[in-house]
Amino acid sequence: MVLNRKKVACTLYVGGELLPQVEEFKYLGVLFTSEGRIDREIDRRIGAVAAVMRSMYQSVVVKKELSQKAKLSIYQSIYIPTLTYGHELWVMTERVGSRIQAAEMSFLRRVAGRSLKDRVRSSITREELRLEPLLLHIERGQLRWLGHLFRMPPGRLPGKVFWACATGKRPRGRPRTRWRDYVSRLAWERLGLPP
C-alpha cells in the first residue's frame, strides 16, 4: 500500500514473491487506507459499537431491573474501549468529534431512560450520570501518547515517524491537518505548552 492522494502503482518483492498492492488493510485491529485518512476507521468503530448496542439492547441497555451503575460499568468496560480503540492517533476534526459524541450519547441517553424527543442537553445527561465527555478522555489519551513519544529513546520507529518531514511537492489547497500539528495545538490549548 502506498500512502498518497492519487493512485500510485508500486511493485514490492519480499523473498522473491510479489506482494499485491491494496487500497486498505487492517493491522492490529485498525484500518489503514491509502489516502491516510481515519474516516473509514471511525465509521468501522461506530458500526462496531452499534452492533454492541444492538446485541445488548434488550438484555442490558433498557432493562429496568439493572441499575444505572451496572449499565455504566458495561459502558466503561465494553462500549468505550470498542469505540475508542486506537484513538491516540486520531486527528479530531469537528466532524469526527461530533460523530464520536453522537455515538456516545446514543448509549448514555438510553441508560438515562431518555430519547432525542425529550430534548435534554447532552451535558445535563452526562452530569446526571456523573460522566466526563468522551472527547476529553480521547484528548487525554492523545496527550499521554505525545508524552511517550517525547520520552522515547532516539532511534525508535514511532519517534522517527513523528519527527520525520515529508519531501516532495505539495498539492494545491490547504494541507490536511497532521497529527503532529493537531496534538501540538491540543497541548497548547489544554496545558499551555507552546507548539
Q: How far apart are the C-alpha atoms of 162 and 153, rounded to whole Å?
A: 13
pLDDT (mean) for 141-167: 89
pLDDT score recorded for residue 170: 81
pLDDT (mean) for 135-149: 93
pLDDT score recorded for residue 106: 92
Contact (Cβ atoms closer than 8 angstroms) between residue 143 and residue 193: no
pLDDT digits 0-9 by tens, 40-93 = 899 999 999 999 988 888 888 778 888 889 889 989 999 999 999 999 989 998
pLDDT score recorded for residue 195: 63
For the ranges 4-8, 52-56, 167-171, the lowest mean pLDDT is seen at: 4-8
Given its phi and psi angles, is residue 129 left (phi above 0), alpha (psi -120 to 50 degrees) or beta? Answer: alpha
Q: Which contacts (CB < 8 Å, 24+ apart) does range 186-193 have?
A: 186/139, 186/142, 186/143, 187/143, 187/146, 190/139, 190/143, 191/143
Confidence of residue 132 (pLDDT cuts 50, 70, 90): very high
User: What is the chain's alpha carbon radius of gyration, rounded to the nearest angstrom?
Assistant: 20
Residue 1 has pLDDT above 60, yes or no: no
Residue 23 has pLDDT above 90, yes or no: no
Residue 155 has pLDDT above 60, yes or no: yes
pLDDT score recorded for residue 4: 67
Residue 14 has pLDDT above 80, yes or no: yes
Q: How far apart are the C-alpha atoms of 96 and 177, rounded to whole Å?
A: 13
Q: How many CB atoms lie within 10 A of CB 83?
A: 22
Mean pLDDT, rounded, of the chain: 87
For the ranges 33-42, 78-87, 98-107, the lowest mean pLDDT is seen at: 33-42
* More confident: 145 or 171: 145
Q: How buried is residue 67: exposed, middle or buried, by Cβ count under 10 Å (0-12/13-18/19+)?
A: exposed
pLDDT (mean) for 28-38: 82
